[in-house]
Amino acid sequence: MRIGSAEVLRIEEYHGLGFPPKAFLPDWDDRLVEKHLHWMVPNHYAPDEGRLVGSIHSWLIKLPNLTVLVDTCSGNHKHRPDSPFFSMMNSTYLENLSAAGVDPDDIDYVFCTHLHIDHAGWNTRLLDGKWVPTFRKAKYVVSRTEFERLLGDETPSDDDLNLIADTIQPIIESGQWLPIDAPFQLCDELLIEASPGHTQGHCHLILSAGDGRAVFSGDIVHHPIQVHIPSWNSAACSETEAAIPTRIKILEELSETGTWLMPVHFAKPFCCRIGKAQDEGFICVIE
């Protein structure tokens, strides 16, 4: 799609059945969801399967003089003992990137909204038995707070230990990390802002290109039902008290402006604009 002077492409790793709703959204209430079933089924919810429908993808932003990849999914062949869904994946992600006409060496910046296993995995790939940077010419941008959160955790999970070893450390060794303090202007068209809640150091990216505007929101919002009911956190949100006001603030800023919301886990059609609901909350405006 075109957003102003930028071309934006979705690079897919996975699209299909996800987690059971109550397991992923602890506040899930069938009575509240009932009035939303007309738009949720089948693209966003499979009630017969008892599963949400979601996606894991990157957003590729092509500007006239810069190419930026936002979040890098789970990666292939990575051992994630605490998260079987993401463990030892064998997707066609790099082939999908190639099909979009982009070589890994074309990427100037990789921006990770945060350092969870499904947002940083393709930072590296396995080559001849060694984990090496996938994007050899890129700077890998992440908030300093998020970088220090992960590396400074005194009780890391097994998944985080493996993430550090196979995904973070190789980029440290290659000298490609660029920890930043938000707000940070990546270029004239791209601004990184802090959005704590899902994690302490979570950030999002704002694209302002000509007459087009979009917010690449990471995990501020996981599923479209959270647009309609923004008080629902995901089970993966670590800073639960901060996550809700951050989500409401972003949705309020986007509502009725025509700005695109570009999440990482929404299923088809993968992005939307935001409208104000007649009662409370917001609505996804699909075009």
Q: What is the pLDDT of residues 101-159, one digit of tens each?
A: 999 999 999 999 999 999 999 999 999 999 999 999 999 999 999 999 999 988 999 99
Longest Cα pair distance anywhere in the chain, in angstroms?
A: 57
Closest C-alpha to 108, from 133, 134, 137? 137
Which residue pairs, CB below 8 angstroms and at least 24 apart, start in 74-78? 74/13, 74/14, 74/117, 74/118, 74/121, 74/122, 75/120, 75/121, 75/122, 75/123, 75/124, 75/125, 75/167, 76/121, 76/125, 76/126, 77/126, 78/117, 78/121, 78/162, 78/166, 78/167
Whether the per-residue pLDDT at 227 is higher than 80: the answer is: yes
Please write the tens of the pLDDT for every residue from 188-210: 999 999 999 999 999 999 999 98
**Which CATH code of 3.40.50.1000, 3.40.50.1980, 3.60.15.10, 3.30.10.20 fits the domain covering 2-285?**
3.60.15.10
Residue with tokens 């070589």: 103
Neighbours of 235 (CB within 10 A): 13
pLDDT > 90 in the chain, percent = 95
- Averaged over 83-104, what is the pLDDT? 96
Mean pLDDT of the chain: 96
Residue with tokens 């490609």: 176
8-state DSSP, 128: T
pTM for the full predicted model: 0.96
Q: What is the pLDDT of residue 265?
A: 98
Q: What is the pLDDT of residue 280?
A: 75
Structure token pair of residue 39: 């738009």
Mark 126-158 as b/e (b = at least 16 C-beta within 10 Å): eeeeebebbbeebbbbbbebbbebbeeeeeeee
pLDDT > 70 in the chain, percent = 99
- Averaged over 65-93, what is the pLDDT? 96
Q: What is the pLDDT of residue 287?
A: 65
Neighbours of 227 (CB within 10 A): 24
Whether the per-residue pLDDT at 213 is higher than 90: the answer is: yes
